[in-house]
Amino acid sequence: MHSIGGQVSDTTAQPKSATKDAPSKPNWWRQAAVYQIYPRSFADHNGDGLGDIKGITARVPYLKELGVDAVWLSPFYPSELADGGYDVADYRDVDPRLGSLADFDEMVSALHASGIKLIVDIVPNHTSDQHEWFQEALQSPPGSAARDRYVFRDGIGPDGSQPPTDWQSVFGGPAWHQVPDGQWYLHLFAPEQPDLNWDNKDVHEDFIKTLRFWSNRGVDGFRIDVAHALTKDLSEPLPTWEELRHLMHENLPLDGTHPFWDRDEVHEIYAEWRKVFNEYDPPRTAVAEAWVPRPRRPRYASAEGLGQAFNFDLLEAAWDASEFREVIDDNLTLSSESGASSTWVLSNHDVVRHVTRYGLPQDPDTKNGKSWLMTDGKEPKLDRELGERRARAAVLLLLALPGSTYMYQGEELGLHEVGDLPEEAMQDPSYFRNKGVEKGRDGCRVPLPWTPDGASFGFGSNGAHLPQPGWFADVAVAVQENDPASTLWLYRRALEARHKLQSGEALEWVDNGNAEVLHFARPDGWQCVTNFSAQPVPLPPGEVVLASVPVDDEIPADATVWLKV
Ligand code: NOJ
């Protein structure tokens, strides 16, 4: 149940005890705390500066102590790293720089032995240009079967020297690239990421093979990259970029008629995949990365489809009670429509870390941190402590909500974005293709600090593939482990308490007469109160289970308290 405007409604048919299920039960994912690992920046076992699979395995005890239910692994497949691994050259192998399939199996066993599930990233919209299919397509003539697995077209103009359309790619620059024989291929992202043709049956069969390959190796679920792309309608006449440019995310048409985003046919693919997921016991899970208008989200999350969809609304929201309240209400309503549980996300590998976002002015043009990044972290002035304080409050709020919380590696350390990476260190295509407009996503992908000293703050025995700033020494895992007031301790305590407190997926708002304070109740007497204001507010009755900062009879500004009532 959750109540909107005082009315109590059912959000799910889940029995009340469902979330006390042991993790091996089919519903383990419904209220899971999922920790995202960006493998090349987590832990480097072989000292080559790139994080690897053995590095993750060695840190399973850390993950266990943190108390997460599952790990989501960003791509670890062979890749030329044109887009941080989201350019996959072989979907059924491990990048040799990250290890081997044997290392992968060992990691799965170690995670499972610690009661942690594993979700892997699947990138079905595009391959790498190094993928054997694309190499074959380049060697094959126009009209060949090999070219049909991708989206090749003749150019326009008298000699075909103009791209088929004037569309722009997501990372900037034209969305078509010309090959030596004159044809053009579509890449919605970087040129090294040619789009697959989902009208081709080889593509369908190959992804099913991939899903079974990893499921058979013990993978518990999948995160589906740009799940709202894949199917395309490129029949003539094609719209111009002027007609399409504003049709993104929330502004996409609600009838599925965009030529390449969020077309209705994409759900036929997920229905096919669902049959594969259900071959397993427990069924494999999936979560969609689908940047679509809110009313279109439930279909991705339905039990006949992927089963869950990301809600990115908090990546775009300011630190503001009414914005949070609206996002929570909307998403509980959407999850009641799909039957899935909701997801909650503050950070991932694509956005400025929320600790930093919350330390910047919460105005529309500064709150996402992009303008701050463009000045190498100089303007507007970042209030680091305020950001850390709000982030601690935010995560307690999120972890008290019904549904799954997805956390991004390093947020448990209260890690800020690295805002001043030098030009020569940059790796992200969105930086290179949008010079002067975007600083890119490298600042949230800097390898983690494990120790206050050492070649790469304990990340590995050598350097790190992105430079780590000196202030990483103060926030390293080993430093925080010795400090019960640290953010790491807060996360550990919160995850432990959440396991004990969580039962049914119900939420009921408690009216407290202050619009800047969000107060809600969960089943069995668990309550969460967040004070978004700059003034302390009275502490409601109940036993304090956990608080983001020390509390007495008041909740200080920018703080969250969990109560048992
Ligand atoms: C979404 C991923 O999260 C992002 O990192 C990647 O660049 C694009 N999809 C393209 O695969």
pLDDT tens digits, one per residue of 519-537: 999 999 999 999 999 999 9
* Structure confidence at residue 222 (pLDDT): 98
User: Taking residues 263-275, what's their average pLDDT?
Assistant: 98
pLDDT at 7 over 70: no
Average pLDDT over every residue of 156-172: 96
Answer for the pair 228, 292: CB distance below 8 angstroms, yes or no. Answer: yes
- Which residue type, as a one-letter code, is found at position 519? H
Measured CA to CA, the distance from residue 388 to residue 396 in angstroms comes to 13
For residue 123, the ligand 1 atom closest to its alpha carbon is 11
For position 544, what pLDDT does the model report?
98
- Pocket test of ligand 1: the residue of 123, 128, 226, 433 to mutate, having most ligand atoms within 8 Å of its CB, is 226
How high is the pLDDT of residue 4?
A: 31
Percent of the chain with pLDDT over 90: 94
Position 374 pLDDT exceeds 90: yes
- Residues annotated as catalytic (active site), given as ranges: 225, 279
The arithmetic mean of pLDDT across residues 469-483, rounded, is 98
Over 369-418, what HEC string results? CHHHHHCCCCCCCCCHHHHHHHHHHHHHHHHCCCCEEEEECCHHHCCCCC
pLDDT at 8 over 50: no
Predicted pLDDT of residue 436? 84
Average predicted confidence (pLDDT) for the chain? 95
pLDDT of residue 22: 46
Query: Residue whose CA is closest, atom 5 of ligand 1?
Result: 350
Average pLDDT over residues 487-502: 98
State percent of the chain over pLDDT 70: 96
**Contacts of residue 53, Cβ cutoff 8 Å, sequence gap at least 6:** 39, 45, 76, 94, 98, 99, 100, 103, 104, 106, 107
Tokens of 16: 């009340």
What's residue 506's pLDDT?
97
Quick one: average pLDDT of 166-191?
97
pLDDT at 25: 85
Residue 24, pLDDT score? 62
- Arithmetic mean of pLDDT, 341-351: 98
Alpha helix segments (H runs only) across 255-351:
266-277, 297-301, 313-316, 321-338
| Predicted confidence band of residue 435 (pLDDT cuts 50, 70, 90) | confident
pLDDT at 188: 98
Over residues 385-410, mean pLDDT: 98
Q: Which tens digit of pLDDT belongs to each residue from 91-115?
A: 999 999 999 999 999 999 999 999 9
Q: Give the mean pLDDT of 37-49.
A: 98
Helix axes 384-399, 487-501, angle to 10 degrees: 10
Instruction: Compute the distance from residue 86 Cα to the ligand 1 centre, in Å.
Output: 6
- On the 0-12 / 13-18 / 19+ scale of CB atoms within 10 A, 381 is exposed
What band does 128 get if pLDDT is binned at 50, 70 and 90? very high
Q: Is the pLDDT of residue 21 over 70?
A: no
Residue 232: C-alpha distances to residues 152, 176, 225, 229, 293 (Å)? 13, 15, 16, 8, 18
Indicate the top mutation candidate among 38, 83, 249, 349 to test ligand 1's pocket, ranked by most ligand atoms within 8 A of CB. Answer: 83
Closest listed residue to residue 406, CA positions, set 355, 346, 350, 354 = 346
How far apart CA 130 and CA 134 sit, in angstroms, is 7
Q: By C-alpha distance, which of 68, 190, 66 is closest to 487?
A: 66
Q: What's the gap in Å between 195 CA and the centre of ligand 1?
A: 13
